Amino acid sequence: MANLKALRTRISSVRSTRKITSAMKMVAAAKLRHAQESAEAARPYAERMARMMASLAGAFAGREDAPRLLAGTGSDRVNLIVVVTSDRGLCGGFNASVVRSVRQRIAELHKQGREIKLLCLGRKGRDLLRRDHGELIIETLQGLDKGFSYDTARDAAERITRMFEAGEFDRCTIVFNRFQSVMTQVVTWQGLIPAVAADQPVDDLGGAVYIFEPDEGAILEHLLPRNLGVQVFRGLLESQASEHAARMTAMDNATRNAGDMIDRLNLVYNRTRQAAITTEITEIVSGAEAL
């Protein structure tokens, strides 16, 4: 019977989908562990750099000769937004939530008459934003899911610094999914330029003041671009861990849904088969009676 055959095909197709989604879930789980480890391993560097930044920024507070990367250009006309997303889909609302937040921000800033530029790290961000805001995207970096190192982040940061020095924008913010837990990823906005010193209590040095070698200015000149690189790197790592977590959850749901669907289809299949058998028997019996 055609109907039975269709059901059989359907069941086997859902079965193979379930196989794929459960395999993807396993892969995501393995990658998540790795990504989480590297995100945690990178934390000490970022923390210590933030501490150094805080000490240095303290030394420059209120001074007019503060470097522009620290103090900004004094204007906020052109805003650069660095959008961190994944290269691949099938990870639930991971990319959509970042992009939604970016869209809102663009609408707000446009209302205030600001100019916006977008730098996409990850292919999906560009794909999703291209239709509405294609003209704002100045550059896209992809291939991040094949693994990246600090050098990748440093290159991106150098490009941002060069653009800043060329006066292409006044402010820069980065947006990414911060990894909170396997179930929750939080879209996070963070300012890159002007550099914000983390709200971290500066160590009590017992009244002592740091000696700076060679001097505050020279150190800041080196530290600020590095700090930018570290922030971008952190964003990438957090985003990567979030991506795998989101994909794992999404694929877990998909696997469960596929299981439910197989159960339902099996029920329908068995019922239809039973109905066909009953009809056949009735036909034979009524045929015999007619003799």
Partner 1 sequence: MAGRVNFELVSPERILVSDTFDMVVIPGGDGDIGVLPDHAPLISTIRPGVIDIHDDGKVAHQVFVAGGFAEVLPDRCTVLAERALMVASIDAGDVRARIEAAELDLRDAESDADRTRAGDELAVLNAMLEAVPDS
**Residue nearer to partner 1 on the CB measure, 41 or 186:** 41
- CB closer to partner 1 out of 88 and 226: 226
Interface pick for partner 1 out of 29, 45, 54, 272 (rule CB under 8 A): 45
Shortest Cβ 191–partner 1 spacing (Å): 20
> What residues numbered 233-252 form the site for partner 1, per CB under 8 A?
233
- Catalytic-labelled residue, pool 39, 66, 91, 251: 91
CA distance 119 to 135: 11
Options 63, 162, 256, 271; binder of partner 1; rule CB under 8 A? 162
Nearest to 71 by CA among 164, 175, 200: 164
Q: Tell whether residue 33 is a contact of partner 1 (CB under 8 A).
A: no
Q: Can 120 be counted among the known catalytic residues?
A: no
Binding status of residue 194 toward partner 1 by CB under 8 A:
no
| 84 lies in the site for partner 1, by CB under 8 A | no
Query: 279 — phi, psi (to 5°)?
Result: -60, -45
Residue 139 to residue 150: CA distance in whole angstroms? 20
Q: With binding defined as CB under 8 A, does residue 95 bind partner 1? A: no
Q: Can the peptide bond before residue 214 be classed as cis, meaning omega within 30 degrees of 0?
A: yes
- What is the spatial distance between Cα 139 and Cα 274, in angstroms, rounded to a whole number? 61
Q: How far apart are CA 196 and CA 185, in angstroms?
A: 23
Choosing from 29, 71, 182, 219, the residue that interacts with partner 1 (CB under 8 A) is: 219
Three-class SS state of 9? helix
- Cα gap 32→55, rounded to integer Å: 35
Tokens found for residue 41: 């391993």
Q: State yes or no: residue 49 binds partner 1 (CB under 8 A).
A: yes
Residue positions annotated with a catalytic role: 91
Q: Which residues bind partner 1 (CB under 8 A)?
A: 38, 41-42, 44-46, 48-49, 51-52, 55-56, 149-150, 153-154, 162, 203, 205, 208-214, 218-219, 222-223, 226, 229-230, 233
